[in-house]
Amino acid sequence: TGDTYSPGFLTIGFTYSKVLTDRISIGTNLKLISESIQNTSATAFAVDAGVQYRFSEALMIGAAVKNIGTNMSYSGQDLSSRTGIPGSIPGSSSGSYQVITESFQIPSFFQLSVTYALNINEQNNLLFAGAYTANNSFEDIANFGMEYGFMNNFFVRGGYNFLVENSSEYIYGFTFGAGVDYQIGGEIGFAFDYAFRDVKDFPTSNHIFTVKLNFQ
């Protein structure tokens, strides 16, 4: 028909973290998830929770469960329509009907990760990371990446994702990104990140923008 559609995905979250000891940290994230396409949308609330253990200044491991929350169900005016009443004169009267969509569970998962930080000098550092993700509605995923940081304010990132069993069938692959992290005053931090994710077999890839405010 020549029509095109632009789906939207928005997440708004509130994160709380606490350092329990010099080696153990915990955190949780409460978030609102909204998906939309044209005049149809769905909303859910979810929580993430995780723990991090530091073996040394360089080596850390972490475990987290994510997207534990409510079900989603699409609604909106695009799911309603008007039609003629059976047995009536054409054009004389009409009725409306609403499509009721079935609710579905948001995809939750468990993630285990490891990171290793390499400080080149006071201004330059590298971070190596790998993760294994066990999904409840999809095949398990492994990914690895590297981040270069300059003065702990500017960052460049790259990585790769693949399915553990059927990597050739996974639509995602390489990822690239950059970010800035800036301290506003003594207790407020501002961070902006951009990420590019390659999508196979589709004409466009993913562009992800993230804005964070950190209160200490």
For 120-148, the pLDDT digits (tens) are 998 999 999 999 999 988 888 999 999 99
pLDDT of residue 33: 94
pLDDT of residue 87: 61
pLDDT of residue 92: 54
pLDDT of residue 102: 87
Backbone angles phi, psi at 112, to 5 degrees: -120, 130
CA 51 from centre of chain:
19
Confidence class for position 173, pLDDT limits 50, 70, 90 = confident
Q: Please give the structure tokens belonging to residue 31.
A: 């978030």
- Whether pLDDT at 169 is above 70: no
User: Is the Cα torsion angle 150, 153, 154, 160 positive or negative in sign?
Assistant: positive
Higher pLDDT, 85 or 194: 194
The domain locations on the chain are 1-75+97-102
Higher pLDDT, 16 or 95: 16
- State how far the Cα of 138 lies from the Cα of 171, in Å rounded to an integer: 13
Q: What is the pTM of this model?
A: 0.70
